[in-house]
């Protein structure tokens, strides 16, 4: 299906919510270190409920290590600095969605590495900063899955 990639996530409940999202949509979750929490954090486990057993969560020392190990079809970064809406992209199975840390978003260096055509934004009203990380991930994953006809859903 799809890959959800969290670059240096900081807030355990957000990652827990995304674990649950991935379990319910068939996505694989990848975490790029350093993490702002321990993987056995109680807040992470509470937010993910009992979905940890249904989702493979993998960690990587760097984005380069993730790319080498997974080799996603395409890697899209989500950022308020993106110039194209994610709604304008036809997603394909195997695509990966990269989200930055909650307090600072994807670093400029990562956005430049991806290239402007691979940095997408979620539409927001003017003068608003951003969405919550787990909400943003859910919006993107469900649109990509919708484009695939909700393959595998009941």
Express each pLDDT in 82-119 by its tens digit.
999 999 999 999 999 999 999 999 999 999 999 999 99
55 found inside a domain: yes
Confirm whether 28 is domain-assigned.
yes
Kindly indicate the confidence band of residue 45, based on its pLDDT and cuts at 50, 70 and 90: low
Residues above pLDDT 70, as percent of the chain: 91
Q: Are the CB atoms for 2 and 141 separated by under 8 Å?
A: yes
Number of domains in the chain: 1
Does residue 87 contact residue 123 with C-beta atoms inside 8 Å? yes
Find all residues with CB under 8 Å of 131, minimum gap 6, and list them: 122, 124, 139
- Residue 108 in any domain: the answer is yes
Please state the pTM of the whole predicted model. Answer: 0.93
Determine the structural domain holding residue 115 and report its residue range. Answer: 3-147
What CATH number has the domain bearing residue 62? 3.40.1280.10
Would you say residue 81 lies in a domain? yes
Q: What is the pLDDT of residue 111?
A: 98
Q: Say if 152 falls within a structural domain.
A: no
């Amino acid at each position: 299906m799809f890959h959800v990639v969290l670059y240096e996530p900081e807030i355990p409940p957000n990652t827990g919510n995304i674990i649950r999202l991935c379990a319910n949509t068939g996505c694989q979750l990848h975490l790029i270190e350093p993490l702002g929490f321990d993987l056995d954090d109680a807040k992470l486990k509470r937010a993910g409920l009992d979905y940890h057993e249904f989702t493979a969560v993998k960690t990587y020392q760097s984005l380069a290590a993730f790319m080498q190990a997974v080799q996603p079809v395409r890697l899209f970064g989500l950022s308020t600095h993106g110039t194209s809406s994610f709604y304008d992209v036809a997603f394909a199975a195997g695509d990966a969605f990269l989200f930055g840390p909650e307090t600072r978003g994807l670093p400029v260096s990562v956005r430049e590495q991806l290239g402007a055509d691979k940095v997408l934004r979620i539409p927001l009203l003017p003068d608003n900063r951003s969405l919550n990380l787990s909400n943003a991930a859910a919006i993107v994953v469900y649109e990509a899955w919708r484009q695939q006809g909700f393959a595998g859903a009941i």
